[in-house]
Amino acid sequence: MVFNRLNKVQKQIAKKKGKNAALHENSRDTMRLQAASARDNKLNRLTSMREKQNKHYLLRVKSFQSYTVEHTTPPTIPEIQAMIEDYLGRDDEELAKLKAERRPGRPPNNRETLLKQAQAAEQGEYTSGFWIPDLEDMDNLKKLKEWGGQWSGLATIKPVRITREGVKKESSFPPKGLS
């Protein structure tokens, strides 16, 4: 989403002053243009930051959506745990490749460190309760299959947290802490 308040202000000023009118350095119209530009920059920065924060949840739900394509009935908790284990191991091949490419005695590169940190965080989340869509509810499973990949569409899908021991807890959207 790109905000374009600046374009609206530019149009208003052009309409008032004419297309080729020059503005004074400290005029009110120049201040309006600067304020609109700063506002657009701030909103675009906040939007991109929010999208970046939500991206891993979108990818998680998309992967569980792809896992459930072949399911016509809701999976059981052990099947869901197998899906979670599969999801948690998605970067194992890349980690092994990065480790094999590294010379002995050399520290890991940034990519390898980031992957290990992400895996450790997800393993910790799985121990306390891994946030996923509720796959045991048939209506929720249908909604997940029809989901278009948008963050706003996740509000209709009921989430749960599944622990490593197989305990299912109700959760909330958007995911916060251990809710």
pLDDT at 1: 55
Q: How high is the pLDDT of residue 81?
A: 92
Of 131, 14, 120, 121, the C-alpha closest to 61 is 131
Supply the pLDDT for residue 119: 93
Cα–Cα distance, 127 to 129 (Å, whole number) = 6
Give CA–CA dist 38/106, Å, rounded: 45
Beta-bridge partners for 160: 132, 170
Structure tokens at 44: 């675009």
Ordered by where they begin, the domains of the chain are 1-60 (no CATH), 68-179 (1.20.1440.170)
Residue with structure tokens 């990949």?
149
Q: Which two tokens stand for residue 60?
A: 């998680």
pTM, full prediction: 0.73
The token duo for 115 is 């992957």
Sequence letter at residue 61? V
Q: Packing angle between helix 77-88 and helix 28-67, nearest 10 degrees? A: 120
Both tokens assigned to 43: 């909103």
Query: Could you tell me which residues are beta bridge partners of residue 168?
Result: 162
What is the predicted pLDDT for the residue at 166?
A: 87
Question: For position 88, what pLDDT does the model report?
Answer: 92
The rounded Cα 104 to chain-centroid distance in angstroms is 36
CB within 8 Å of 161: residues ≥ 6 apart: 128, 129, 130, 131, 132, 168, 169, 170, 171, 178
pLDDT tens, per residue, the chain with 179 residues: 556 777 888 778 877 877 777 777 888 888 888 888 899 889 989 989 988 888 888 999 999 998 888 878 888 999 999 999 999 999 999 999 999 998 888 999 999 999 999 999 999 999 988 999 998 889 999 999 888 888 888 888 999 999 999 889 888 877 776 55
* Per-residue pLDDT, 3: 65
